[in-house]
């Protein structure tokens, strides 16, 4: 049985979420924006889902904007907010490209706050970047590559003192399976999530837009979502997302404990078995599912190919449009040298990860690294 250790890329769906979606493909296919009975049935499902999503995110139903995924939610937050309140944008050095590139679109030179070698935003650096010229600060709740959790409370305090006019956006896409986003993201006015990271379907996400915060739409059309995001509703997708959120939250504490232990066994096992290996980022500041290591003297491209052939599915860096692996800006930001950054490996565990997966990884990875270090 192969070991899928790339849950940060995407996750298998909760069976309950799949079941919840099915009726909305063939029987309850209505366009939720219509007025007749068929439409109303779809609309009801949409609004019930909205209530569930709001509760899971610690928000009011009116604060939920459904989108086509996490990237769109991040774009809506940054582009949509900036249009109404132009100004400087501050983001961390380890944001996802959706945030970095969107920030680059609205702002000639986004102010980038460096992170510590532990992978956490350096508050001493951030303080100097936040001033009265700033309209938006964007810091992800947890990072997709190294899993480190960012101190949104402390960031909010800095903003309250130095840029009270500014709005805080957080990309909580990776955080939702592992953290109580409802409370941890409370300091943020704009919170982005993506269904397929927590056992929901791909192509659907949400942005929390707190009451009183205005954003301009980036998708124009029929005016759905109170003018914030037009387009016919992906009712099945939203229903699936809500069901997945519910299932995730119900099991979250137990999952974190169980998967955290699996991750520790995996990480410690590999660090012990492989010479010249190190863990990226401070484990005590990470979500339970992330195991990110770097190995001297190899490059991840070849390692991933060997692992793939042996049924261990993992990732490293980020894939560019062509599929080639690029060195990660996150790993570089944490202070790894270019050479070391090229030898990175991200193993991300999830709800469905078992001891067998960890056993396979422990048996395959050390020999693969050794093989790549052998002189030809």
State the Cα–Cα distance between residues 345 and 315, nearest whole angstrom. Answer: 6
Smallest gap, in angstroms, from Cβ of residue 196 to other proteins? 22
Q: How many residues bind other proteins (CB under 8 A)?
A: 15
Return the number of the residue (127 or 372) whose C-beta is nearest other proteins: 372
- Please report where in the chains the tokens 């049935």 appear, as a residue: 41
Smallest gap, in angstroms, from Cβ of residue 210 to other proteins? 39
Question: Three-state SS string across the chain, please?
Answer: CCEECECCCCCCCCHHHHHHHCHHHHCCCCCCCCCCHHHHHHHHHHHHHHHHHHHHHCCCHHHEEEECCHHHHHHHHHHHHHHHCCCEEEEECCCCHHHHHHHHHHCCCCEEECECCCCCECHHHHHHHCCCCEEEEECCCECCCCCEECCHHHHHHHHHHHCCCCEEEEECCCCCCCCCHHHHCCCCCEEEEEHHHCCCCCCCEEEEECCCCCCCCCCCCCCCCCCCCCCCCCHHHHHHHHHHHHHHHHHHHHHHHHHHHHHHHHHHHHHHHCCCEEECCCHHHECCCEEEEEECCCCHHHHHHHHHHCCEECECCEECCCCCEECCHHHHHCCCCHHHHCCEEEEECCCCCCHHHHHHHHHHHHHHHHHHHCCC
Return the number of the residue (211 or 338) whose C-beta is nearest other proteins: 338
Return the number of the residue (39 or 372) whose C-beta is nearest other proteins: 372
Smallest gap, in angstroms, from Cβ of residue 4 to other proteins? 16
Burial class of residue 186, CB neighbours in 10 A (0-12, 13-18, 19+): middle
State the Cα–Cα distance between residues 86 and 98, nearest whole angstrom. Answer: 19
The 11-40 site mask, x for binding other proteins (CB under 8 A), equals ------------------------------
Q: Considering only residues 40, 157, 226, 371, which one is a binding residue for other proteins as defined by CB under 8 A? A: 371
Smallest gap, in angstroms, from Cβ of residue 319 to other proteins? 8
Smallest gap, in angstroms, from Cβ of residue 305 to other proteins? 6
Return the number of the residue (39 or 325) whose C-beta is nearest other proteins: 325
Smallest gap, in angstroms, from Cβ of residue 375 to other proteins? 10
Q: Is residue 376 involved in binding other proteins (CB under 8 A)?
A: yes
| Active-site choice (56, 107, 291, 320) | 320
* Among 4-12, 74-82, 356-364, 368-376, the segment contacting other proteins (CB under 8 A): 368-376
The 290-329 site mask, x for binding other proteins (CB under 8 A), equals -----------xx--xx-x-----------xxxxxxx---
Smallest gap, in angstroms, from Cβ of residue 307 to other proteins? 11
The 192-211 site mask, x for binding other proteins (CB under 8 A), equals --------------------
State the Cα–Cα distance between residues 79 and 95, nearest whole angstrom. Answer: 16
Return the number of the residue (260 or 311) whose C-beta is nearest other proteins: 311
Residues 77-116 interacting with other proteins (rule: CB under 8 A): none
Return the number of the residue (273 or 372) whose C-beta is nearest other proteins: 372
The 326-365 site mask, x for binding other proteins (CB under 8 A), equals x---------------------------------------
Is 107 noted as a catalytic residue in this protein? no
Binding site for other proteins (CB under 8 A): 301-302, 305-306, 308, 320-326, 371-372, 376
Active site residues: 320
């Amino acid at each position: 049985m192969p070991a899928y250790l790339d849950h940060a890329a995407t996750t298998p769906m909760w069976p309950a979420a799949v079941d919840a979606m099915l009726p909305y493909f063939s029987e309850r296919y209505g366009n939720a924006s219509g007025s007749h009975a068929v439409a109303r049935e779809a609309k009801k499902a949409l609004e019930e889902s909205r209530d569930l999503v709001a509760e899971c995110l610690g928000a009011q139903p009116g604060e939920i904007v459904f989108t086509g995924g996490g990237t769109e939610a991040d774009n809506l937050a940054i582009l949509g907010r900036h249009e109404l309140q132009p100004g400087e944008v501050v983001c961390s050095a380890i944001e996802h490209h959706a945030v970095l590139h969107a920030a680059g679109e609205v702002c000639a030179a986004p102010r980038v706050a460096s992170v510590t070698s532990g992978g956490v935003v350096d508050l001493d650096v951030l303080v100097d970047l936040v001033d009265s010229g700033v309209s938006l600060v964007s810091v992800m709740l947890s990072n997709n590559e190294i899993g480190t959790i960012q101190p949104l409370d402390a960031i909010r305090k800095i903003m309250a003192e130095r840029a009270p006019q500014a709005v805080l956006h957080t990309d909580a896409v990776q955080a939702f399976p592992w953290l109580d986003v409802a409370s941890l993201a409370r300091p943020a006015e704009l919170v982005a999530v993506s269904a397929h990271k927590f056992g929901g379907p791909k192509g659907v996400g949400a942005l929390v837009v707190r009451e009183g915060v205005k954003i301009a739409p980036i998708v124009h059309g029929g005016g759905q979502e109170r003018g914030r995001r037009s387009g016919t509703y992906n009712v099945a997708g939203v229903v699936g997302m809500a069901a997945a959120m519910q299932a995730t939250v119900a099991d979250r504490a137990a999952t974190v404990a169980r998967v955290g232990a699996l991750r520790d066994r995996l990480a410690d096992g590999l660090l012990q078995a492989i010479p010249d290996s190190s863990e990226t980022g401070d484990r005590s500041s990470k979500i339970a599912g992330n195991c990110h290591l770097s190995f001297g003297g190899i490059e991840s491209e070849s390692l991933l190919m060997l692992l793939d052939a042996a049924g261990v599915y993992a990732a490293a860096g980020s894939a560019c449009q062509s599929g080639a692996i690029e060195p990660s800006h996150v790993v570089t930001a944490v202070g790894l040298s270019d050479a070391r950054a090229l030898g990175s490996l991200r193993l991300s565990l999830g709800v469905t990860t078992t001891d067998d997966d960890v056993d396979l990884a422990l048996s395959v990875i050390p020999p693969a690294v050794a093989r790549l270090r052998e002189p030809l």
